C-alpha cells in the first residue's frame, strides 16, 4: 500500500510540474484576492488588522477550490481511474495519496506565502506563526473535504457549481476556527483551543475522508 501511495504521489507531482500554469493559478488567485481588499477598504491600519485573518482565510479557501475540479478529471478522462478502481491497492489509500499531492501543490504554497500577504494588512509579526499554523492545519482539511465533493460531481455537466454548493457549507467550521485562532491571538488570548479543534478535524478527516472519496468515486464511475 505504501508503494502504491508513493507511486501516486510521485506521478501526480510530475504531472503537476509539467503543467505549471495549473499550479500557479491557485497561488496567483490567492495573492490577487488578498491584495485587492486593502485597496478596496482603505489604508486604515486598525481596520486592516481587524479583517486580515478573515480575508486571508477566505482567499485561501476560495483558491483551494479552484483546482478541485481537476483532482480526478484527468484520470477519469484517460481511463486511469478505472484502472485504479480495478487495482489491488485499496482505493482509499490511492485517494489519500492524490489528496496529499493536491495539498502539496495547492495548499502548502498558501501556507508559505501567507505571512508575506499579512504584511499588506500591517498584521503584527507575533501573529505570523499562528496564521501559518492555522493554515497548515486547516488547508489539508479543505483538500480532504473538497475531494469528496470532486469525486461525487465527477463527470457531471455543471459539476463546478454543484461542487461549490456541496463543499462550501462544510468549509465554514474550518474557516471560523482558522480565522478565529488568529483573532484570539491578536486579542492577547491563547489560540490553543481553536488550533486543537483544527487538529482534531484534520485527524478525523484524514481517517474517514479517503474512504468516503473512494465510495464516491465508485458511485461516479457506475
Q: Are 102 and 147 within 8 A, CB to CB?
A: yes
Q: Where are the domains of the chain?
A: 2-221
Span 37-55, pLDDT tens digits: 888 887 788 888 889 999 9
H runs (alpha helix) in the chain: 2-18, 20-41, 45-66, 73-78, 80-86, 91-102, 108-118, 128-152, 159-186, 192-221
Q: 119-170 pLDDT, tens per residue?
A: 888 888 889 999 999 999 999 999 999 999 888 888 777 667 788 888 899 9
Q: Which of 147, 142, 110, 121 is nearest to 50 (CA)?
A: 121
8-state DSSP, 106: I
Q: Residues of the chain with pLDDT > 90: what percent? A: 41
The CA–CA distances, whole Å, from 38 to 55, 56, 62, 104, 166 equal: 10, 11, 18, 28, 30
Closest CA to 142 of 153, 131, 134: 134
Read off the C-alpha cell for 165: 454548493
Long-range contacts of 37-43 (CB under 8 A, 24+ apart): 38/120, 38/121
Amino acid at each position: 500500500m505504501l508503494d502504491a501511495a508513493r507511486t501516486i504521489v510521485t506521478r501526480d507531482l510530475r504531472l503537476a510540474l509539467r503543467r505549471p500554469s495549473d499550479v500557479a493559478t491557485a497561488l496567483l488567485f490567492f495573492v490577487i484576492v488578498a491584495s485587492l481588499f486593502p485597496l478596496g477598504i482603505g489604508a486604515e491600519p486598525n481596520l486592516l488588522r481587524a479583517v486580515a485573518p478573515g480575508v486571508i482565510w477566505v482567499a485561501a479557501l476560495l483558491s483551494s477550490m479552484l483546482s478541485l475540479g481537476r483532482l480526478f478529471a484527468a484520470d477519469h478522462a484517460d481511463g486511469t481511474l478505472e484502472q485504479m478502481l480495478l487495482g489491488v491497492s485499496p482505493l482509499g489509500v490511492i485517494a489519500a495519496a492524490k489528496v496529499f499531492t493536491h495539498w502539496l501543490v495547492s495548499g502548502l504554497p498558501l501556507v508559505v506565502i501567507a505571512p508575506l500577504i499579512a504584511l499588506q494588512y500591517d498584521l503584527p509579526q507575533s501573529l505570523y506563526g499562528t496564521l501559518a499554523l492555522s493554515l497548515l492545519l486547516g488547508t489539508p482539511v479543505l483538500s480532504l473535504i473538497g475531494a469528496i465533493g470532486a469525486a461525487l460531481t465527477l463527470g457531471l455537466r455543471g459539476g463546478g457549481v454543484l461542487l461549490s454548493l456541496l463543499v462550501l457549507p462544510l468549509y465554514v467550521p474550518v474557516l471560523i476556527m482558522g480565522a478565529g485562532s488568529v483573532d484570539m491571538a491578536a486579542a492577547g488570548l491563547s489560540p490553543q483551543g481553536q488550533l486543537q479543534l483544527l487538529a482534531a478535524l484534520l485527524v478525523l478527516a484524514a481517517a474517514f475522508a479517503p474512504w468516503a472519496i473512494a465510495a464516491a468515486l465508485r458511485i461516479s464511475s457506475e
